[in-house]
């Protein structure tokens, strides 16, 4: 009798395994043979283009993705209003190095997002090169006042995960201007966050903190080749002048939206799972990797469930967040509304690391959940998902962090991401169709597993 | 006393781990910060270009790589003579679909490597579409004679490893002409081995087997978009004509060389480890992924050892094989010479799957060795190497197979490989510097581990 019971249990287990294997296989088959993600991305990138918050393109993207979600036959599709900052780049930036009066070399620059303009005639000043913010204190006001501070700490090539290399120098871009202004700098030039040597400046967000408007100084990124050239020139001739002209501007906040679609759960509709990316992008490229890819992959998750006939037990929402790049207003507003309505979010998965070959997921989750994830490995490794990392999550879903909600992020191969990040070559032709589709299928598979087995780990954690 | 011994053993083990970790770290650091692979590839691809066996470019590549190896201060660098086939494409191929006399649509085609030419005026004939060689028998001579057979079985998109998808339809390209000729076909057109829909025909090797010269028929690849167009047109109008003109030619064999460099082992010089790729390529692109990448990565392995001060205990040879693509003469000759000289090869690692992000290795090795590899995982996983697969190896090192020699292949991410394979877009700008460098460092790390611990597994196997 006992033997029979064991056999029955084993048979049930084997059946469950087989059912899961089959469901995951069918998600991958559907993504790879009749996926919609690539077509959607083609439209977002090539028909709409860069989608900076507050721009006409961002508005078009809201309309387009809402309309496409409506075609999927979800239970509900809606727009969640959110006020977003509107910053405009203005006419193309212009910069040169002047070694002697009249003897100049142009270098590629772009204004950092949120920067103030230079005076109409531009700024021309001497340059002081630093490797980081901490050097400003040592140099002191006497060496900085009236000068352009050139932040030139490169991304560390020896980091295998390029996001770590990014994390190791992005403070120069984000806080460089604010800190240099305190020492009387005239402007800052920041080496682009790019591991390649090339001619493309990479923009990105920056902050003046509490600095009064009158004390804000212009901030621009310079291409990595430009940074190398400037640094070499400074070694040979420390008294060169640098000229910068940009006429970007911060306008009033404008109305925008998160785009949300929902399939109501069949068994536990009160428990909400979120899958999302951010709809806004920077303005230089068309935002294909950052984060058009994450948006269309998230939409594809819901389409794949429909396509394969899988009805989630818990409620599943796709959320296309607005304004991740320069404000995080969409993510913040979504979490605020969720709290206000006392919605019970249990799981949130974000894709915001590019549309490259997926290699796994990171999780902001309790240990018990990580053990459950461990048990899913045999189902996911055949799809070449090997990294299941504790720590991380994502920017837009970050504000949801709190009691019981598990945050996760898709981890694609990171080697090429910063070649394109925030630069004019973040464009559609650099996204590979299969890599994009594999990411969507990986995300759908993880949500399927959470929907069916995620609660077990919560039970485990409570039982600890 | 026993406790002390255990502690001592543990300490020794920890020290070994640390030493190995440090050595591997230093290999990666050197590859990522002062790597030479990318510069070498730039020269091979952009200064020399496509290196079809017997071409001037193949000859230039032999000279260039020999000269570069000589700069590395190895113990010995030499050329190993090998006669290779010389096939030339001639003037660009030309093809169209004729729906009515005078109403034609051009389609992109290229001759398959080794194909005969069409008659001077080309061939115009009706088309019979098949999904594979096995359909020829069913159709029989009456439906095939005088027609152009169109092999149109696509690569399976649902395969996660694209090499499996390739393996699933490359028989059409390799044997299609030989088999169709037996039923009196006038020529064959083969759908390009490409998972994307685009306009680039992909060449590749084919064979006529024992077919007399007089019975050989022309064979060409058609781009995937061209194949879709032809197939659709045939459905609407089965009696269309297809025109093909190509004037490729097989010439007499010519003299060429494998390029070999060697560092003599400090402890067991009689044991030889090989690392290699193939120096020849197809002629349409510049052969950057196939297999310029593998060549420069293999050269880089020896440079990294020099750079980091590591002296292999066993003899290490880099072998740049000639004529992998259309004859495998280099690999065959290398193994024949090794046998003749009674050299003891113990390990051979090939890189011939593109210069993409490395994900692991495949092995043609006994089970005991796979257990040893398992013990290396903690050293390699921090570098995102997760796949350690039994089975496979590589084409050029295949002829070395035999008693006691372990064959291995680098496994890069395979998603984009067939977008470029044997086509005019297998070019330098599609190789990412970091991905290439990570592959070289992964190869060096594996060879380091084999050099130090590989014999343990052999001992294990003998002890079984």
B101 class by beta-carbon count within 10 Å (0-12 exposed, 13-18 middle, 19+ buried): exposed
Identify whether B360 is part of a domain.
yes
Cβ of B158 and A32 within 8 Å? yes
Structural domain for A102, as ranges: 92-247
Whether B9 is in a domain gets the answer no
In a domain, B451, yes or no: yes
Q: Residues of B with catalytic annotation?
A: 324
Residue among A162, A357, A382 minimizing CB distance to B415: A357
- pLDDT grade, residue B6 (50/70/90)? low
Q: What is the DSSP string of B97-157?
A: EEEETTEEEE--EEEPBTPPPPPTT-EEEEEEEESSTHHHHHHHHHHHTTSEEEE-PPP-T
Nearest-angstrom CA–CA distance, A63 and A47: 13
The reported pLDDT for the residue numbered B456 is 72
CATH number for B169 = 3.50.30.30
Rounded to the nearest 10°, the torsion over CA A382, A385, A390, A391 is -160
Task: List all residues 6 or more positions away from B220 whose beta carbon is below 8 Å from its beta carbon.
Answer: B93, B95, B109, B110, B111, B112, B115, B187, B188, B189, B190, B201, B244, B246
Contact B384 A384 (CB under 8 A): no
Same-domain check for residues B355 and B438: yes
User: Dihedral of CA B285/B288/B291/B296: which sign?
Assistant: positive
Out of A33, A158, A382, closest to residue B158 by CB: A33
DSSP string spanning A291-359?
A: IIHHHHHHHHHHHHHHHHT---SEEEEEEEES-TTTT-HHHHHHHHHHHHTT-EEEEEEE--S-SSPEE
Q: Which two tokens stand for residue A427?
A: 């464009």
Per-chain mean pLDDT for chain B = 95
Closest CA to A37 of A443, A415, A425, A394: A443
My answer on whether A256 and A161 are in the same domain is: no
pLDDT (mean) for B101-105: 94
Residues A462 and A327 sit within 8 Å (Cβ to Cβ): no
pLDDT at A464: 36
**Neighbouring residues of B122: CB distance < 8 A, sequence distance ≥ 6:** B94, B243, B244, B245
**Residue B70 shares a structural domain with residue B126:** no
- How many Å is the maximal CA-CA distance in chain B? 97
Distance from CA of A25 to the nearest CA of B (A): 9
Q: Exposed/middle/buried for B57, CB within 10 Å: 0-12, 13-18, 19+?
A: buried
Residue A18 counted as domain residue = no
Pairwise CB contact (< 8 Å): B434 & A384: no
Q: Would you state the pLDDT for residue A458?
A: 55
CB of B464 within 8 A of CB of B64? Answer: no
Retrieve residue B8's tokens: 């001592």
Q: Is the pLDDT of residue B387 over 90?
A: yes
Q: Please report the pLDDT score of residue B404 as a whole number.
A: 86
pLDDT of residue A463: 40
Between A and B, how many CB-CB pairs are < 8 A? 61
| CB distance B405 to B348 below 8 Å | yes
Please report where in the chains the tokens 């395969």 appear, as a residue. B159
A421 touches A193 (CB < 8 A): yes
**CA distances, A174 to each of A180, B108, B359 (Å):** 12, 50, 34
% chain B with pLDDT above 90: 92
Residue of B nearest to A162 (CA): B434
Mean pLDDT over B2-7 rounds to 60
Task: Provide φ and ψ at B137, rounded to 5°.
Answer: -55, -50
Is B350 in a helix, a strand, or coil?
strand
Strand partners, B262: B76, B317
Does the pLDDT value for residue B464 go beyond 50? no
Give the residue from B272, B279, B280 showing the smallest Cα distance to B296. B279
Phi/psi at A256 (5° precision): -145, -165
Last residue of a domain, one of A247, A278, A311: A247
Nearest CA in chain A to B25: A158
Which residues from A are below 8 Å from B160, CB to CB?
Answer: 28, 382-384, 438
User: Which residue from A minimizes the CA distance to B432?
Assistant: A416
Q: Which residue of B has its CA nearest to A434?
A: B415
- Indicate if A79 and A132 belong to the same structural domain: no
Q: Which of B226, B247, B268 is the last residue of a domain?
A: B247
- Give the closest of A359, A415, A433 to B435, CB-based: A415
Residue B302 and residue B392 in one domain: yes
CATH number at residue A65: 3.40.630.10
A324 is catalytic: yes
| Cβ–Cβ below 8 Å for B195 and A357 | no
The two three-digit tokens of residue B445, written as one number: 């790390």
Rounded to two decimals, the pTM is 0.95
Residues B384 and B338 both lie in one domain: yes
Q: Is the dihedral of CA B119, B120, B126, B128 positive or negative?
A: positive
Assess whether A64 and A138 both reside in one domain: no
Q: Most B CBs within 10 Å: which of A25, A379, A415, as the mutation test of the B interface? A: A415
Cα A256 to the chain's mean position, in Å? 19
Same domain, A72 and A185: no
User: Is B6 inside any structural domain?
Assistant: no
B386, A383: Cβ pair inside 8 Å? Answer: no
B371 and B300 in a single domain? The answer is yes
**Distance of alpha carbon A325 from alpha carbon B268, whole angstroms:** 58
Query: Would residue A2 count as lying in a domain?
Result: no
Q: Map residue A143 onto helix, strand or coil.
A: helix
Best of B25, B361, B434, B437 to substitute, by most chain A Cβ atoms within 10 angstroms, is B434
- Which residues from B are below 8 Å from A when comparing CB atoms? 28-29, 32-33, 157-158, 160-162, 195-196, 357, 359, 382-384, 386-387, 413, 415-416, 419, 432-435, 438
Beta carbons of A208 and A216 less than 8 angstroms apart: yes
Interface confidence (ipTM) of the complex: 0.94
| B415·A32 Cβ contact <8 A | no
Residue A292, in any domain of the structure: yes
User: Do the Cβ atoms of B28 and A157 come within 8 Å?
Assistant: no
Residue with tokens 């992959």: A297
Where do the H-state alpha helices sit in A314-383? 329-340, 367-380
Q: What whole-number percentage of chain B has pLDDT above 70?
A: 95
Q: Angle at which helices B293-308 and B433-463 pack, to 10 degrees?
A: 80
- Phi, psi at A261, each rounded to 5°: -130, 150
Structure tokens, A100: 């002697």
**pLDDT value at position A8?**
62
**Strand B148-151 to strand B94-100: parallel, antiparallel, or no bridges (unpaired)?**
unpaired
Whether B242 and B260 map to the same domain: the answer is: no
| Contact check, Cβ <8 Å, B195/A434 | yes
The single residue listed with the structure tokens 């090169």 is: A129
Tracing tokens 């045939």 back to the chain, one arrives at B234
What are B353-369's pLDDT values in tens digits? 999 999 999 999 999 99
Which of A247, A279, A312 corresponds to the end of one domain? A247
A356/chain B closest Cα distance in angstroms: 10
- One digit per residue, the tens of pLDDT, for chain A of length 464 reads 556 665 666 666 667 679 999 999 999 999 999 999 999 999 999 999 999 999 999 999 999 999 999 999 999 999 999 999 999 999 999 999 999 999 999 999 999 999 999 999 999 999 999 999 999 999 999 999 999 999 999 999 999 999 999 999 999 999 999 999 999 999 999 999 999 999 999 999 999 999 999 999 999 999 999 999 999 999 999 999 999 999 999 999 999 999 999 999 999 999 999 999 999 999 999 999 999 999 999 999 999 999 999 999 999 999 999 999 999 999 999 999 999 999 999 999 999 999 999 999 999 999 999 999 999 999 999 999 999 999 877 899 999 998 789 999 999 999 999 999 999 999 999 999 999 999 999 999 999 999 999 987 654 444 43
| Structural domains in chain B (count) | 2
pLDDT tens digits, residue range A264-285? 999 999 999 999 999 999 999 9
Asked if residue A437 is part of any domain, the answer here is: yes
Report the pLDDT value the prediction gives residue B90, as an integer from 0 to 100. 97
Nearest to B438 by CA among B382, B392, B393, B397: B382
**Burial track B239-275 (b if 16+ CB lie within 10 A, e otherwise):** ebbbbbbbbbebeebeebbbbbbbbebeeeeebbbbb
pLDDT at B2: 57
- Interatomic CA distance for residues B414 and B170, integer angstroms: 16
The nearest alpha carbon in chain A to B196 belongs to A433
Whether residue B140 is found in the same domain as residue B278? no
B127 and B76 belong to one structural domain: no
- How far B434 CA lies from chain A's nearest CA (Å)? 7
Question: Among residues A68, A93, A262, A324, which one is catalytic?
Answer: A324
pLDDT tens for each residue of B237-290? 999 999 999 999 999 999 999 999 999 999 999 999 999 999 999 999 999 999
- Per the listing, tokens 């399939």 go with A263
């Amino acid at each position: 009798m006992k033997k029979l019971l064991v056999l029955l249990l084993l048979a049930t287990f084997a059946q469950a395994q087989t059912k899961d294997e089959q469901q995951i296989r069918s998600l991958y088959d559907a993504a790879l043979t009749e996926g919609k993600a690539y077509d959607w991305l083609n439209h977002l990138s090539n028909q709409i283009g860069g989608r900076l918050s507050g721009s006409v393109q961002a508005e078009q993207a809201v309309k387009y993705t809402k309309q496409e979600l409506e075609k999927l036959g979800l239970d509900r599709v809606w727009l969640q209003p959110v006020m977003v900052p509107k910053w405009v780049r203005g006419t193309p930036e212009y910069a040169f190095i002047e070694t002697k009066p009249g003897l100049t070399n142009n270098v590629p620059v772009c204004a950092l997002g949120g920067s103030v303009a230079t005076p109409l005639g531009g700024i021309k000043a001497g340059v002081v090169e630093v490797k980081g913010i901490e050097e400003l204190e040592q140099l002191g006001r006497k060496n900085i006042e009236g000068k352009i501070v050139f932040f030139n700490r490169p991304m560390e090539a020896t980091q295998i995960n390029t996001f770590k290399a990014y994390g190791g120098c992005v403070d120069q871009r984000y806080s460089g201007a604010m800190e240099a202004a305190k020492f009387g700098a005239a402007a800052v030039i920041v080496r682009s966050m790019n591991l390649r040597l090339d001619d493309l400046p990479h923009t990105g967000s920056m902050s003046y903190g509490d600095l009064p408007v009158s004390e804000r100084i212009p901030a621009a990124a310079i291409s990595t080749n430009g940074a190398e050239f400037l640094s070499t020139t400074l070694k040979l001739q420390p008294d060169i002048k640098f000229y910068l002209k940009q006429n970007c501007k911060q306008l009033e906040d404008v109305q925008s939206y998160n785009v949300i679609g929902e399939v109501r759960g069949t068994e536990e509709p009160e428990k909400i799972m979120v899958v999302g990316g951010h709809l806004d992008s920077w303005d230089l490229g068309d935002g294909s990797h950052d984060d058009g890819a994450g948006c269309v992959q998230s939409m594809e998750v819901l389409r794949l469930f429909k396509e394969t006939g899988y009805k989630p037990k818990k409620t599943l929402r796709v959320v296309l967040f607005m304004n991740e790049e320069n404000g995080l207003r969409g993510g913040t507003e979504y979490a605020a509304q969720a709290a206000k309505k006392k919605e019970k979010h249990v799981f949130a998965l974000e894709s915001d690391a590019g549309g490259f070959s997926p290699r796994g997921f990171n999780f902001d989750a309790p240990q018990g959940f990580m053990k459950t994830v461990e048990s899913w490995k045999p189902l996911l490794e055949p799809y070449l998902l090997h990294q299941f990392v504790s720590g991380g999550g994502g920017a837009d879903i970050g504000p949801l962090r709190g009691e019981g909600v598990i945050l996760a992020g898709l981890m694609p191969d990171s080697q090429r991401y910063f070649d394109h990040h925030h630069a004019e070559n973040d464009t559609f032709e650099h996204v590979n169709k299969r890599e994009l589709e594999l990411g969507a299928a990986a995300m759908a598979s993880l949500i399927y597993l959470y929907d069916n087995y995620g609660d077990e780990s919560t039970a485990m954690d409570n039982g600890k």
